Structure 1
């Protein structure tokens, strides 16, 4: 699969690029009932990219290591955290508009440094909600792993 191999190669690249990110508490971004639309946004974008043969330009980075160089930003985000990282500024603005309580920014760096995770977020990291009011079943824990830099895009 050419697209998958290219996405994996990009994650190890030392090429310097401009990246944009939205970062928030991991429980909020990956598990909160109010953000149940978030997995669908990512899945739809992935489907579109596969149909068009486009290379992956967005990732979920658990506990992004690049935040260590930004202590003023890191202290604003409850830990553990997760970032949606992309090279597409317009799509990053879209993600920010679709979600509240996320911090949006940009960073330039080597692909391998920006997509590096300081620690994973495990599939069972969050407590099951006591009540679930959505008219459909909750997504299974770990749904985000496919969008990580070495995921099965």
Structure 2
């Protein structure tokens, strides 16, 4: 998950999911990508128990810290916004190891890699404006278009 302190609880769906999971009796474990690791092929993480409440001044509180096997969790919500960098990709591989052991990972790690949010629209070209995705600057100059969006 992205840093919990940065969430806007008025509009962030991650917060709504946390509230509902807690209401249903789930123990919430908070972790960021750098908390995940593999040891001898086992996916593990350093987690902190977190309690949430609908209070704009103090909406989360951390409890005890634990080191756990991800396979011991029922569900992991992958709520990290890209950048789609090496750390992000490695994180999906670690989550995939937990998934292989039976933990439900939402969103599916392979899908996070395969369905890049910036490129996935290419599979629906009949529904999108004319689009060119390239790393070659000369292709942009010769595309015949005057609008360029870069990241």
Is TM > 0.5 for Structure 1 vs Structure 2?
A: no
Could you state the TM-score of these two structures normalised by the residue count of structure 1?
0.25
Report which of the two structures shows the higher radius of gyration computed on alpha carbons: 2
RCO higher in structure (CA 8 A, sep ≥6): 1
Structure showing the higher helix proportion among its residues: 1
Could you state the TM-score of these two structures normalised by the residue count of structure 2?
0.25
